[in-house]
Amino acid sequence: MRKTAIIFLGVIMVSSLLAAGCKKAKKEEPKPAPQVGATVTAPQAGAAVAPLADTGPGSSGCADLRGSYQVTQLATFLGCSRDGKQLEIPDWKNALPQKSELAIIQSGCTVEATENISSPKTKISLAGKSSKEGELTLNVKNPADLSLPLKMTVNNKHQTCTYKGGLNWTGKLESKGLLKGNVKYSLTLSGTGSACPQSCGIVTEFDATGK
The string of pLDDT tens digits covering residues 135-184 is 999 999 999 999 999 999 998 999 999 999 999 999 999 988 899 999 99
CB proximity list for 134: less than 8 A, separation 6 or greater = 63, 65, 172, 173
The answer to the question of residue 148 being in a domain is: yes
Query: Looking at the domain assignment, is residue 195 inside a domain?
Result: yes
Q: Is the pLDDT of residue 1 over 50?
A: no
The reply to whether 27 falls in a domain is no
Total domains in the chain come to 1
Q: How far apart are CA 67 and CA 131, in angstroms?
A: 16
| Domain containing residue 145 | 67-210
Under a CB-based contact definition with an 8 Å cutoff, are residues 166 and 183 in contact?
Answer: no
pLDDT tens for 26-83 read 444 444 444 443 333 434 433 444 667 777 776 778 999 999 999 999 999 999 999 9
- Whether 89 is in a domain gets the answer yes
CATH number at 119 reads 2.40.128.120
Tell me if 40 is assigned to some domain.
no
Question: Considering the entire predicted model, what is its pTM?
Answer: 0.73
